[in-house]
Amino acid sequence: MFKFKEWFTHHLEDNVREGELTPYHYTNPYLIGLLLGLVLLATFVIMGRGLGASGALSTVVAVGVETVAPSAVENNDFYKGYLGDGTQSPFKDWLVFEVIGLVIGGFISGAIAGRTKMMVEKGPRFTNKKRFLFAFIGGALMGFGAKMARGCTSGQGLTGGAALSLGGWAFMLMVFAGAYATAYFVRRQWI
Amino acid sequence: MTAPFYKFGYFNDEVSLIIAFVIGLFFGFVLERGGFGSGRMLAAQFYFTDMRVFKVMFTAIVTAMIGLFYFAWMGFLDLSLVYYGDTYLLPQIVGGLILGIGFVIGGYCPGTSGVAIATGKLDAIFYALGGFFGIFVFGEMFPLLKDFFYSTHMGKVNLPQFFHVSYGFVLLVVILVAIAGFTLVEWGEKVVAKKRTENK
């Protein structure tokens, strides 16, 4: 194959399939941080806004609720915020397009690096079934929390952080506080 | 002032969606490349075995923060036109806490779960389903949560305004904290790694 691919795949042996987590299978974290920062900066410069993720999920939920029970949406400002003024599809939304790109971009990177094998992310002492249950519970907490905080790690953490938003920084500190405080109780899942 | 381009009307909404898609491509690529498609890697952060998440997040924030400041200082970018959400302090503190708990239980955050699903992580599918469910619960409970959700509204406020110091000063503090943080975690990782080999 060509050299470009080699450069990306010289650490093909994926650490997550090994017992130990070793960092060098992925690109250097500081370099990745720099690149991620430049993507964020480009978004600021081009769009005058930052990155996000949970907003796109909310659009899907809002449209789902509206489809099933239109009356439930009428008096609910939360759902309404994601449905727009009705002149165009709620999916014609900046974050929705960004997240579609994110999924494809993630796949391209994974494919180049040989990391697209079906698998379950968990520690060696945890069953798949339990892991799926925990993933669902964690996802639900995250969805709820992100809506309460008006954004997730991308929208509040990265974007708010770089823009020095007070709410963004308060949010981020609490994310780490919440996660570190809980880590001990779910350690069997991961280590 | 020429930036943000969109706010100065250089292109229309249709084009902005294409840009969103392209930016998303880069975003997803970089996240996967950084190891954020792996739930174990993201969780390792909270057991001090691998501090990638911290390093990547903080480097990204510092990079974009310095870039913003520099472009504004050059007169290229109008900082007041850069959108970020208003601060609602209490809901954001409580929301952040719930999200943090969900992070270590679920193993992902909304953006990284997309990358994880794209690279075949089956648990991330359950995570995303949970995410939809959590948002649905929030939506259904919204009438009850409304008062709290809109409480402690402080407007679009940043750290320099809140602490009554200059933008450059906050910048400097964040950079110094970042450098101190990086030094600390690099040292900490070595200590933990040494301990783990000794225990074997």
What is the number of CB-based contacts under 8 A between chain A and chain B? 557
Closest CA to B152 of B86, B57, B79, B64: B86
Same domain membership, residue B89 and residue B147: yes
A19: confidence class by pLDDT, cuts 50, 70, 90: very low
Domain that holds residue B183: 1-81+159-200
Could you give the number of structural domains in chain B? 2
Enter the tokens of residue A27: 């690109």
Q: Do A97 and B21 touch (CB under 8 A)?
A: yes
Residues of B in contact with A167 (CB under 8 A): 85-89, 92, 154, 157
Enter the tokens of residue B176: 């110094």
Closest CA to A167 of B75, B109, B95: B95
Of B68, B122, B160, the CB nearest to A41: B68
Predicted pLDDT of residue A2:
42
Structural domain boundaries of chain A? 122-191
Secondary structure class of B104 (helix, strand, coil): helix
For residues B22 and B144, give the distance between their C-alpha atoms in angstroms, rounded to a whole number: 38
Complex prediction ipTM = 0.94
Burial class for A75, CB neighbours closer than 10 Å (0-12, 13-18, 19+) = exposed
Closest CA to A160 of B56, B117, B159, B71: B159
A112: confidence class by pLDDT, cuts 50, 70, 90: confident
What average pLDDT does range A150-158 have in this prediction? 90
Backbone angle region of B164, left / alpha / beta, with phi > 0 → left and psi within -120 to 50 → alpha? left
B68 touches chain A (CB under 8 A): yes
Q: Do B38 and A16 touch (CB under 8 A)?
A: yes
Q: Do A175 and B103 touch (CB under 8 A)?
A: yes
For residues B68 and B63, give the distance between their C-alpha atoms in angstroms, rounded to a whole number: 9
For residue A8, pLDDT beyond 50:
no
B130 contact partners, CB below 8 Å, separation of at least 6: A135, A136, A137, A138, A139, A140, A141, A142, A143, B106
Q: Do B97 and A58 touch (CB under 8 A)?
A: no
Same domain membership, residue B107 and residue B54: no
**CA-based nearest distance A77→chain B, Å:** 8
**Cis omega before residue B4 (within 30°)?**
yes
Residues of B in contact with A96 (CB under 8 A): 20
Of B30, B103, B157, the CB nearest to A35: B30
Same domain membership, residue B89 and residue B73: no
Enter the tokens of residue A191: 């280590």
Secondary structure class of B88 (helix, strand, coil): strand
Q: Do A156 and B85 touch (CB under 8 A)?
A: yes
For residue A23, pLDDT beyond 50:
no
Q: Do B96 and A172 touch (CB under 8 A)?
A: yes
Q: Do A116 and B57 touch (CB under 8 A)?
A: no
Search chain B and give the residue with CA nearest A77.
B142
A114: confidence class by pLDDT, cuts 50, 70, 90: confident
Q: What are phi and psi of A86, to 5 degrees?
A: 85, -5
**CA-based nearest distance B46→chain A, Å:** 6
A25: confidence class by pLDDT, cuts 50, 70, 90: low
What average pLDDT does range B65-70 have in this prediction? 95
Share of chain A residues as helix, strand and coil, in percent rounded to the nearest 5: 70, 0, 30
Same domain membership, residue B166 and residue B71: yes
DSSP character at residue B78: -
Q: Which of A1-5, A134-138, A144-148, B135-139 is predicted with the least confidence, judged by mean pLDDT?
A: A1-5
Predicted pLDDT of residue A18:
45
What is the pTM for the complete model shown? Answer: 0.90
Search chain A and give the residue with CA nearest B115.
A106
What average pLDDT does range B26-55 have in this prediction? 90
Same domain membership, residue B73 and residue B1: yes
Predicted pLDDT of residue A20:
42
Distance, CA of A111 to chain centre: 19
Same domain membership, residue B138 and residue B113: yes
**CA-based nearest distance B135→chain A, Å:** 5
Residues of A in contact with B155 (CB under 8 A): none
pLDDT in tens, B84-98: 989 999 999 999 999
Residue type, A71: S
Search chain A and give the residue with CA nearest B63.
A37
Residues, chain B, total?
200
Residues, chain A, total?
191
Same domain membership, residue B146 and residue B182: no
Backbone angle region of A84, left / alpha / beta, with phi > 0 → left and psi within -120 to 50 → alpha? left
Same domain membership, residue B75 and residue B102: no
Predicted pLDDT of residue A1:
40
| pLDDT above 90 coverage of chain B, percent | 72
Secondary structure class of A86 (helix, strand, coil): coil
Q: Do A105 and B92 touch (CB under 8 A)?
A: no
Q: Which residues of A39-74 are buried (b: 16+ CB within 10 A; e: fewer)?
A: bbbbbbbbbbbbbbbbbbbbbbbbbebbeeeeeebe
**CA-based nearest distance B179→chain A, Å:** 12
